[in-house]
Amino acid sequence: MKRAAIVLASAIAVAAIGGCSSTATTTSTTPAATPATASAAPTAGRMGSGGPPSDRGPGNGVGGGMGNGNGPARATTGAVTAAPPAGTVAAAAWEALMSREGEYAAAASYQAVIAKFGDVEPYVSIEAMEQNHIQALTRQLSRFGFVPPANPYAGTIAAPADLVTAAQAWVDGERKNVALYDRLAAAATGDAGVTRVFTNLRRSSLDAHLPLFEAAVKAGGSLTEPQMAELGFVRH
C-alpha cells in the first residue's frame, strides 16, 4: 500500500451532521458473531488522541473528524430505545451499527484480538477508528430520536487462534463492511447526513482498514510501528 493511497484515505471525514429523515428500504438486525466465534471476554478498546489520519475529517473537533466542523461529536446519552421502524433512514443507520457486518461487531472483534495478543497493530489503531465510526452512527440516530444500546457484541467474540488468521478474517470482514454500505446507500437516499456518514465509513473500510489488514497478512499477522508509519499511520 503506497503512502498516496493513505493520503487519499486521510481525506475521509466521518461527518455526523443534522438533517431530515426520509423513507428507506431496510430492516433492523439482531447481533450475531463475526469473523471470530463467541465466547471470550475482550478488554475495553483503546482510544487514540484523534485516531490515525485516515479517519480525520474537516471539522475542528478531535476524535477523528467526527464533527460537522463545529467540534467533536459525542455519544448519545439517554434511555435506550427500540429499533427504528423498518423502511426508514434511521433503520438503515441502526443496521450499520448493529448488524454482524457493522461497526459494533467490528469493534468487539478488534478488542478481542487486542485482549488475546496485546497492543498489536493494526488492531489498536483501527479499533480507535471504530469508536469514531460508532459515534458517527450514534449521532445520526440521535437526530431521529433513537438511542442504541451499548455494544451487544462486547465480550461475546473470541479472537482467532493466531494473528495471520485474524488478519485474513478481517480482510474478508472489511470487504463485507463495504458491501453493507453499498446495500444501505439506497436506503439513505434523500438524507444528506446519513448519506455522508455511510459514504465516509465505506471509504474508511475500503481505503484505510482493508489495506492495513492486507499488509498485516503479508507481514505475518501484525504490523510494527515503522510499518504502520510507512503506510501513513502514526500512533498519537
For residue 236, being part of any structural domain is answered with no
pLDDT of residue 35: 55
For residue 207, being part of any structural domain is answered with yes
Cβ atoms of 154 and 108 closer than 8 Å:
yes
Distance CA 135, CA 180 (A): 18
DSSP conformation class of 207: I
Residue type, 122: P
Q: Is the confidence at residue 66, as pLDDT, over 50?
A: no
pLDDT of residue 59: 32
Question: 11-38 burial, b for 16+ CB within 10 Å, e for fewer?
Answer: ebbbbbbebebeebebbbbebebbbbee
Q: Is the confidence at residue 92, as pLDDT, over 70?
A: yes
Give the number of domains in the chain.
1
For residue 235, being part of any structural domain is answered with no
Dihedral angle computed from the Cα positions of residues 74, 75, 78 and 80, in that order, rounded to the nearest 10 degrees: 160
Of 200 and 28, more confident: 200
Residue type, 109: S
Average the pLDDT over each of 36-40, 83-87, 215-219 and give the range with the smallest value: 36-40
- How confident is the model over 198-210, as pLDDT tens digits? 999 999 999 999 9
DSSP conformation class of 84: P
Give the pLDDT mean for 111-125: 97
- Could you tell me the three cell numbers for 93? 443507520
For residue 31, being part of any structural domain is answered with yes
Question: 101-115 burial, b for 16+ CB within 10 Å, e for fewer?
Answer: bbbbbbbbbbbbbbb
Q: Which domain range does residue 27 map to?
A: 3-230
Cβ atoms of 35 and 160 closer than 8 Å:
yes
For residue 122, being part of any structural domain is answered with yes
For residue 191, being part of any structural domain is answered with yes
For residue 217, being part of any structural domain is answered with yes
Q: Is the confidence at residue 181, as pLDDT, over 50?
A: yes
Give the pLDDT mean for 122-146: 97
Confidence of residue 168 (pLDDT cuts 50, 70, 90): very high
Q: What is the CATH number of the domain that holds 107?
A: 1.20.1260.10
Distance CA 74, CA 97 (A): 16
- How confident is the model over 149-161, as pLDDT tens digits? 999 999 999 999 9
- Could you tell me the three cell numbers for 136? 458517527
Average pLDDT, the chain: 77
Residue type, 45: G
